[in-house]
Amino acid sequence: MSARSADEARRDILAILPGRAHDLARLQELAQDGEPIVTVIGKYNHGKSRLLNELVSRDVFVVADKRQTTTLSQHLSHGVRWLDAPGLDADVANEDDRQALQAAWLKSDIRLFVHTAKQGELDETERRLLEELCADEQRTRRQVLFVLSQIDQLADDGELASVLQAITIQVPHIAPHVVSATRHRHGVEAGKTLLVEKSGMPSLRTALDEALGRVPAARSHETGLLFTEIREELQQLSGRREQELAALRQKQRRLLQNFKEGLDAVFAKVGREIEEVVNAPIPDYAMIPDTAQDKYKTTEAKLERARIQIGYSRACIQIDSFLIGQGVSGLPKEQQTAAGSLNTVMVAVMGVSVKFRNDLRHMFCEAPGRERLQGEFTRYFELSEASTVLRAKIASSEIELKAMERAVMALETLEAGA
Amino acid sequence: MKADTNHEYRFMSDVDALDFFEQDLEAILRKLTDRFGHLTRDLDTAALNRDGLRDGSTLARQADAVNRLLKDSIAAWAGQWVDLQPAQALAHAFEDHAILLVFGTFNAGKSSFCNFLAERFAAEGKAVGYFHLDDGRIVDTQEPFREGATETTARLQGVRLGAKLLLLDTPGLHSVTPDKAELTQRFTDSADCVLWLTSSAAPGQVQELEDLGRELARAKPLLPVVTRSDLYEEDEIDGALVKGLRNKTPQNRAQQEADVTARAQDKLAAMRVDAAQLKLPVSISVHMARSHGQTSMGMEEAGFERLYAALLAIVEPALAYKRRKPAETLLHHQEEHVLGTLRARLLPLLETLNAEARLALERLAQQQERIIESVWREVVPVLAQLLERHADTRAVDRVCEDLSQSLRLACIQAEKEHLADYLPASFQGPAPIILDEGLGFDELLVEEGELRQVVGVDYARLYAGLEKQLSHLVLERVEARIEQCRATILALMNAVAHLAGIVPAYERDLRTLKTVLRVNAG
C-alpha cells in the first residue's frame, strides 16, 4: 500500500470517526513495524535522562539538576528506539506535558514510568497518570515498568522501606523497580560489584529485555484490537444511519401513498357528483347560444350552465381544500396576495377557461383525463416544501452512508496493508 | 564570621525587638462589609423571572439554575466566612507575634525546616514552644514535629520562636489526600508572611507555582525556599556501601533558583499577578546544616545565612501586612469566594442562558410559519366540509360557529406542538368568525317572467371569503402569540443583562477598596 493511499484511507475513516484520530495515528506507528520503542515518562528532574543513559550504556541524553529535556529526543541503540520525553509539571504553558504524553501514548511500546525516591510517595497527578498507563496496558498490552529512581539519594534502607510501603498503598498492583543510575555508573566505572548489584539496573535491564521480547505479540494484539474497535464503531454507526435512512424512505413512501389515496377518494367523490350533472337526461343546452327566438331553450341553457357552474365550483373547492390540507400549496400569505380564491396550483392544473359539459366529463368521469389531473397534482405534491425537505434529508443521508461505506473500505485497505 | 555579625543573630534579635502597633481599619472594614451587603441585596432582587416558560424547558431550567446558584452562593459565602474564623482566631491569639506560614507540597521538608529553626533559636537560649491545633484549641506540647521520607503532617501545628515569632507548619499540598490541603488553604490567611518551600528534587512544579501565584495575588509577603538542596554521594569501601551527604554546589543551586524564578514569572504572567512582588528563591539544606554540627561555616554552606538575610528583608513587609490583615482577610474572602463564584460560575451560566435565549428568538420566526401552516392545513379542509354539509340548509351561522371552534382547537394544538417551551397563551382567541356584509350561500336562480327557479346553491364566493377571513385570523392570532413569546424571552434577557451587570460593578468597587487598603495602609 502506498503512503498516499494509506493517507487517503485514514482521511476517509477520520471523516466519519474524528474521535479515532489518535488510534489511527497509533496504527500508522504500528504499521511501520520499526524497532521497539521505549519511552521514559515522569516529572522533570526525576532522573529520566540519566536512567536512559545507563540503559543504553552511553551518555546520549543530557543530564542536569534542573529542568533539562524540553523537547522529545531519541536514540537508537541495540535495536531499540529510546525516547526521552520532557518532564511533566515543569512547563507553565503545558507544552512539555503535551509532548511527554504524546510520546507516552503514541510512540511507545514500553513505558518506563519514573518517580524519584527522594520525593517519597507519588503525588496525585503522578498516581493518576500511572493508573492510566496501567489501564492502557490491560487494554493494549503495551507494557508499563514502574521505576523508583535515584534511590542513592535516600539516607538508608529504612527510608527506602518506608517510601516503598507508602507507594505500595498508593498503587498496589504494580511493583516498582528500585533503581539508581548514578550508583550503577559509579560501580561500572570503578569496577565495584556491590554498587552495580545494589543499583537495581541489572534486574531492570532483565525485566526490560523480557518486556522487549513481548513487544511483537503486544503489537499484533494492539493492531488487531484497534482495527476491531474501529470496525465495530463504523458498523454500529452505519447500521444506525441505514435504519434512519430506511425510516426516512418509508416516511416518504407513506406520505406519497396517503396523498394518492386521499386524492383518489376526492376524485371518486367529485367524479360521482359531476357524473350526475353531465348525465342529466336533457340536451346539452349549454352549447346552444341564447336567442330571442327560442325562449324556452334559452332558459334551459341557463339552467344547464348554472348546474355545471355549481358542480364544477364544488369540485374545485374539494380538490383545493384537499391540496391545502396536504400542504401542497396555498398558505395564508399566498392566499392573500393571490387574485382569486383558488390557489396557483389549482389554476395551473385546471386552467381558467370556462368549462362545458364535455370538458367536465373528460376531466372527472373518464380515466385518461382523471389520470392526467391526478398525475399533475401528484407532481405538485412532490414539489411541495415538505416533500422537498424530506428528499434533501434522504439525499444527505445517502451521501453520509456512502462516506461510511468508503470508510469501511478504507479500513479494509489499511488492515490489508498492516 | 563572628556570631554577633551574622544574619542569623541579627534576625533573632530583630525579631525579639519587634514592635506591633495597630492600625485603624474600621473605615475600610465597614466599606467592605457595606459593599458586600449591597451586593447580596442586589443579587437577591435580581433573581430571574421566567414567567411564560414551561417548567421543563431549557430556558426555564437554566434560569432556575441561576436562581439556585444565587441562593446557594449567598448561603455558601456565609459558611465560608465562618470557616475562616479559626484562622482569624489563631491570628488574634498571636497578635503579638509575627506569624510565618510554612507552605509547600507534602514532601518539601516543612516539618524538618521548622524543627531546625526551633533548634537554632533554642541553641541561642531563646524560648521555644511547640503546639498543635485541636479543633481550634491551641494544645502545647514538648514534642518537635514529626519528620519523615513520606507524608507525615496531617494537622496544623506551630512553634513559637523566642518572644515574637511564630512558625505555622501546614499539612502538605497536592498529596493524594486532598482534605489536608483544604485545611492548609483555610489557614493561610492567618499568617503575616509565607515561606513557600519547594523540594530541590523537582523544584517549582506547576501546581506549586499556582499556589505561589495565589498567595502573591493576595499581596502577601512571600519568600520562595528551595529545600533539601543536598545530595548523597556514595562509594563501596571494603565490601560495604558508604554514603555521605553534601550540599548541592553553588552553581547547581544558582541554576535551580534561576529556573524556578523564570517559571514562576511565566506563571505569574499567565495568572496576571504582578511579578515585581516575586522574591528570589534561596536554596538550603537542613540536613547538611544539622549534620555539620550547626557551625557558622556549616550553616552558611547549607544556605542559612542567605535565608536569614532574606528573612530580615521580609520582616518589614510582613509587619505591614499584619497591620492590615483583618481587612486583607475580608478582602480575600470577597475576591476569591464571592467574586470568584460570580465570575467562575454565575457569569458562564448567564452567558449560556443568553446564547440559548438568542437561539430561541431566532427560532420564533420559523415556529410562527410552522404553526400557521399547521393550522391552515387543518382548518381549510374543515371549511370545505362545513360548506358542503350546510349548503342545503344555507346555515351559514353554523358554518361560522363550527369553523371558529375548529380554528381555536387547531391553534391550541399547533401551539402546543411548536411552542412546547412556553406556557399556553394568556389571552383568548382567535376572534370568532363574523361574516362580511353580503356574504353567504349563493342561490343560483333562473328567472322566467314571474317564475323564479332555484337551480342550486353555490358557495365559491363564501369559500373564498371565509378562507380570506380565516387567513387573516390565523395570521393575527399566531403573530400575537409569537409576539408574546418574544416578549417573554426579551424580558428574561433583560433580567440576565441586569444580573450580569452587577458583577463588574462589584469587581470595580472591590478593586478600588483594595487599592485604598494597600496603598494607604501599605
CB contact under 8 A, B107 and A119: yes
Question: Mean of the per-residue pLDDT values for chain B?
Answer: 90
Q: Of A203 and A56, which is predicted with more confidence?
A: A203
Which three cell numbers mark B189?
Answer: 490567611
**Mean pLDDT across A60-65:** 72
Which residues from A are below 8 Å from B448, CB to CB? Answer: 295, 299
User: Percent of chain B having pLDDT more than 70?
Assistant: 95
Nearest to A324 among B206, B248, B376 (CB): B376
What's the confidence (pLDDT) of residue B61?
Answer: 96
The reply to whether B344 touches chain A by the CB within 8 Å rule is no
What's the confidence (pLDDT) of residue A1?
Answer: 62
CB contact under 8 A, B202 and A120: no
Which three cell numbers mark A323?
Answer: 391540496
pLDDT digits (tens, 9 = 90+) for A389-410: 999 999 999 999 999 999 999 9
| A384: CB partners within 8 A, 6+ apart | A326, A327, A328, A329
- Rounded to a whole number of angstroms, the distance from the CA of A25 to the nearest CA of chain B is 29
Which residues from B are below 8 Å from A91, CB to CB? Answer: 206, 263
- Is the confidence at residue A287, as pLDDT, over 70? no
| B256: CB partners within 8 A, 6+ apart | A65, A66, B200, B203, B226, B229, B248, B281, B283
What's the confidence (pLDDT) of residue B493?
Answer: 97
Question: Mean of the per-residue pLDDT values for chain A?
Answer: 87
Q: What dihedral do alpha carbons B315, B319, B322, B327 form, nearest 10°? A: -120
Distances (CA, A) of B188 to B12, B23, B91, B105, B193: 24, 21, 10, 14, 9
What's the confidence (pLDDT) of residue B510?
Answer: 97
pLDDT digits (tens, 9 = 90+) for A178-225: 999 999 999 999 999 999 999 999 999 999 999 999 999 999 999 999
- Residue B151's pLDDT band, with cuts at 50, 70 and 90, is low
Which three cell numbers mark A322?
Answer: 384537499
Please, which residues 467-496 of chain B have a Cβ atom closer than 8 Å to chain A? 467-468, 470-472, 474-475
Q: Of A267 and A295, which is predicted with more confidence?
A: A267
Distances (CA, A) of A369 to A266, A345, A350, A380: 15, 17, 11, 17
Cα angle at A393 between A388 and A397, to 5 degrees?
Answer: 150
SS3 track for A364-382: HHCHHHHHHHHHHHHHHHH
What's the confidence (pLDDT) of residue B3?
Answer: 47
- Is the confidence at residue A338, as pLDDT, over 80? no
Q: Which of B177, B265, B278, B376 to mutate to test the interface with A (most CBs of A within 10 A)?
A: B376
Which three cell numbers mark B406?
Answer: 375548529
Please, which residues 375-414 of chain B have a Cβ atom closer than 8 Å to chain A? 376-378, 380-381, 383-385, 387-388
- Is the confidence at residue B501, as pLDDT, over 80? yes
Residue A215 and residue A36 in contact, taking contact as beta carbons nearer than 8 Å: yes
What backbone phi and psi angles, to 5 degrees, belong to A111? -110, 125
**Mean pLDDT across B116-138:** 90
CB contact under 8 A, B460 and A317: yes
Tell the burial category of B447 from Cβ atoms under 10 Å away from its Cβ (0-12, 13-18, 19+). Answer: exposed
Mode of pairing for the β-strands spanning B240-247 and A73-77: unpaired
Q: Of A177 and B468, which is predicted with more confidence?
A: A177
- Is the confidence at residue A168, as pLDDT, over 50? yes
The reply to whether B232 touches chain A by the CB within 8 Å rule is yes
- Is the confidence at residue B153, as pLDDT, over 70? no
pLDDT digits (tens, 9 = 90+) for B166-199: 999 887 766 666 666 677 777 888 999 999 999 9
Nearest to A67 among B174, B259, B446 (CB): B259
User: Percent of chain B having pLDDT more than 90?
Assistant: 69
- Rounded to a whole number of angstroms, the distance from the CA of B256 to the nearest CA of chain A is 6
Q: Which residues of A28-59 are buried (b: 16+ CB within 10 A; e: fewer)?
A: bbbbeeebbbbbbbbbbbbbbbbbbbbbbeee
Distances (CA, A) of B79 to B8, B34, B75, B344: 42, 18, 6, 19
pLDDT digits (tens, 9 = 90+) for A253-277: 999 999 999 999 999 999 999 998 8
SS3 B244: strand
Which residues from A are below 8 Å from B204, CB to CB? Answer: 90
CB contact under 8 A, A321 and B380: yes
What's the confidence (pLDDT) of residue B435?
Answer: 85
pLDDT digits (tens, 9 = 90+) for A88-135: 776 666 666 777 777 778 889 999 999 999 888 898 889 998 999 999
Q: Which of B206, B368, B383 to mutate to test the interface with A (most CBs of A within 10 A)?
A: B206
- Residue A329's pLDDT band, with cuts at 50, 70 and 90, is confident
- Among the residue ranges B2-6, B449-453, B501-505, the one predicted with the least confidence is B2-6
pLDDT digits (tens, 9 = 90+) for B430-463: 888 888 888 899 888 877 777 777 878 999 999 9
- Among the residue ranges A69-73, B285-289, B355-359, B384-388, the one predicted with the least confidence is A69-73
Q: Which numeric CATH code is attached to A34-213?
A: 3.40.50.300
Residue B430: cis peptide before it, omega within 30 degrees of 0: yes
What's the confidence (pLDDT) of residue B2?
Answer: 47
- Rounded to a whole number of angstroms, the distance from the CA of B48 to the nearest CA of chain A is 38
Closest chain A residue to the Cα of B388, Cα to Cα: A314
Which residues from B are below 8 Å from A162, CB to CB? Answer: 148-150
Which residues from B are below 8 Å from A65, CB to CB? Answer: 200, 248, 252, 255-256
Encoded amino acid at B440, one letter: G
Break chain A down into helix, strand, coil percent, rounded to 5.
70, 10, 25
- Is the confidence at residue A63, as pLDDT, over 60? yes
Q: How far apart are CA A290 and CA A298, in angstroms?
A: 5
- Among the residue ranges A16-30, A56-70, A220-234, the one predicted with the least confidence is A56-70
pLDDT digits (tens, 9 = 90+) for A127-144: 998 999 999 999 999 999
What's the confidence (pLDDT) of residue B177?
Answer: 66
Closest chain A residue to the Cα of B287, Cα to Cα: A155
Give the closest residue to A324 by CA, choosing from A332, A336, A314. Answer: A332
- Residue A66's pLDDT band, with cuts at 50, 70 and 90, is low
What's the confidence (pLDDT) of residue A72?
Answer: 65
Distances (CA, A) of B64 to A35, B233, B242: 59, 64, 69
- Rounded to a whole number of angstroms, the distance from the CA of B461 to the nearest CA of chain A is 8
The reply to whether B453 touches chain A by the CB within 8 Å rule is yes
What's the confidence (pLDDT) of residue A94?
Answer: 67
Please determine, looking at this structure, whether the domain spanning B3-24+83-330 carries the CATH number 3.40.50.360: no
SS3 A258: helix
Element (H, E) at B11: helix B7-16
What's the confidence (pLDDT) of residue B19?
Answer: 84
What's the confidence (pLDDT) of residue A387?
Answer: 92
pLDDT digits (tens, 9 = 90+) for B221-273: 999 999 999 999 999 898 888 999 999 999 999 999 999 999 999 999 999 99
Which residues from A are below 8 Å from B455, CB to CB? Answer: 303, 306-307, 310
SS3 B174: coil
Q: Which of A67, A276, A322, A389 to mutate to test the interface with B (most CBs of B within 10 A)?
A: A67
Which residues from A are below 8 Å from B453, CB to CB? Answer: 303
Taking each helix axis from N to C end, the angle separating B460-515 and B304-332, rounded to the nearest 10 degrees, works out to 140
pLDDT digits (tens, 9 = 90+) for B32-81: 999 999 999 999 999 999 899 999 999 999 999 999 999 999 999 999 99
What's the confidence (pLDDT) of residue B1?
Answer: 44
Domain boundaries, chain B: 3-24+83-330, 363-502
- Is the confidence at residue B152, as pLDDT, over 70? no
Q: Which residues of B382-420 are buried (b: 16+ CB within 10 A; e: fewer)?
A: bbbbbbbebbeebebeebbebbbebbbebbeebbeebbe
The reply to whether B199 touches chain A by the CB within 8 Å rule is yes
Domain boundaries, chain A: 34-213, 243-404
CB contact under 8 A, B202 and A90: yes
Taking each helix axis from N to C end, the angle separating A3-16 and A21-32, rounded to the nearest 10 degrees, works out to 160
Which residues from A are below 8 Å from B201, CB to CB? Answer: 45-46, 116, 118-119, 150, 153
The reply to whether B275 touches chain A by the CB within 8 Å rule is no
CB contact under 8 A, A154 and B232: yes
How many cross-chain Cβ pairs, A to B, lie less than 8 Å apart?
199
Q: How far apart are CA B519 and CA A264, in angstroms?
A: 89
Which residues from A are below 8 Å from B475, CB to CB? Answer: 332-333
- Is the confidence at residue B285, as pLDDT, over 70? yes
Q: Of B84 and A262, which is predicted with more confidence?
A: A262
Residue B382 and residue B398 in contact, taking contact as beta carbons nearer than 8 Å: no
Residue B374 and residue B418 in contact, taking contact as beta carbons nearer than 8 Å: yes
- Is the confidence at residue B135, as pLDDT, over 90? no
Which residues from B are below 8 Å from A168, CB to CB? Answer: none
pLDDT digits (tens, 9 = 90+) for A19-39: 999 999 999 999 988 999 999
Q: Of B277 and A283, which is predicted with more confidence?
A: B277
Give the closest residue to A319 by CA, choosing from A382, A273, A286, A359. Answer: A273
- Residue B103's pLDDT band, with cuts at 50, 70 and 90, is confident
SS3 B136: coil
